[in-house]
Amino acid sequence: MRVANSAGRQWMFPIAAAVCFSAAGAQVQAQTFPVKPVRYVIPFPGGSGNDIVGRLIMERLTRMWGQQVVVDNRAGASGTIGAAFVAKSAPDGYTLLHCNIAPNAISLSMIKNVPYQHSDFAPITRIGMPPNVIVVHPSTPFKTIKDLVANAKANPGKLSYASGTVGTSPHLTMEWLKLRLKIDIVHVPYKNAAQGTTDVIAGQLPINITNLPFLVAPVQAGRLRALGVASANRVPQLPDVPTMNESGVPGFEVNSWYGVCAPAGTPTALLDRLNADIHKVMQIPEVEKRLTELGMPPAPTTRDEFDKFMRAQIDQWAQVIRDAKIPKI
């Protein structure tokens, strides 16, 4: 027995040493990271709410690290093109994803043969949770959500709304509202949220729904009229706009969300370093102020909290897609 135990210990020593060296190497890598530019993939076009927020965070990380964080806008297919690119990238911290409710939750049930799963990503932290807002052109007679709903029920299929690409959170938010209230409003998808909002501002369509950061300026300027915000409480940017709950749709809360993810397999020590550094950026007074102005105060999480949050979102939107019988794309 002593001989066997001795032999076992002899085999275990190299294994234990290898594990220690590996852990030590990962720790050193995390401490020295980054030693070259980092690619930050935003799976939406320039000028979108995701782009504005992502660039704000990455510009500050560039200063902190002394290495350039290169923003790479890889838009298309509800964000799945950019997400798929990151999922297949090396798990070394040098390619990160601006993860979002569309590609990282909705698309997993909405898109046929989506080329990745949640397990292909390592969630790092949530950044914020901007609510979606329903707005109309000022020439419409709608002053409240109840006005809009009454008209839709009296004229099924006559009204139309603009949103970004099929499968984004604004699209699913309105489809969920239609399901809840049993109304028929025609969806007119656009290549991106900016185009849909521009056409509603121009009066070509009556209704628009998108994330709050993208609508604050046109609403405050009077180019759009906000009817309802899908958050638990009113937002300071639009204090006179009621929540959906106040508008007669109890429990209707839809916050989009932005965060940062890495490819699965990225070393834990490096993920912890990224989480800590991004949290530091969100605590910078000017960054916190700007995020709040955009309608999404910082909402940082631990890595585990963000992972659980994302999994819950995947389940929630899969249920909405089933209940509303929304066809896959």
The answer to whether residue 251 sits within a structural domain is no
Claim to verify: residue 124 and residue 151 sit in the same structural domain: no
In contact, 193 and 170? CB cutoff 8 Å: yes
Q: How many domains does the chain have?
A: 3
The answer to whether residue 250 sits within a structural domain is no
Claim to verify: residue 136 and residue 225 sit in the same structural domain: yes
Domain that includes residue 18, residue range: 1-29
The answer to whether residue 329 sits within a structural domain is no
pTM (two decimals): 0.86
The answer to whether residue 97 sits within a structural domain is yes
Claim to verify: residue 149 and residue 184 sit in the same structural domain: yes
Per-residue model confidence as pLDDT tens for the chain (329 residues) = 444 455 555 555 555 544 444 555 667 678 899 999 999 999 998 888 889 999 999 999 999 999 999 999 999 898 999 999 999 999 999 999 999 999 999 999 999 999 999 999 999 999 999 999 999 999 999 999 999 999 999 999 999 999 988 888 999 999 999 999 999 999 999 988 889 999 999 999 999 999 898 898 999 999 999 999 999 999 999 999 999 999 999 999 999 999 999 999 999 999 999 999 999 999 999 999 999 988 889 999 999 999 999 999 999 999 999 999 999 98
CA Rg, the chain, in Å? Answer: 23
CB atoms within 10 A of CB 240: 6
Claim to verify: residue 107 and residue 160 sit in the same structural domain: no
Using alpha carbons, list the distances in angstroms from residue 66 to 32, 34, 36, 267, 277.
12, 8, 9, 22, 13
The answer to whether residue 234 sits within a structural domain is no
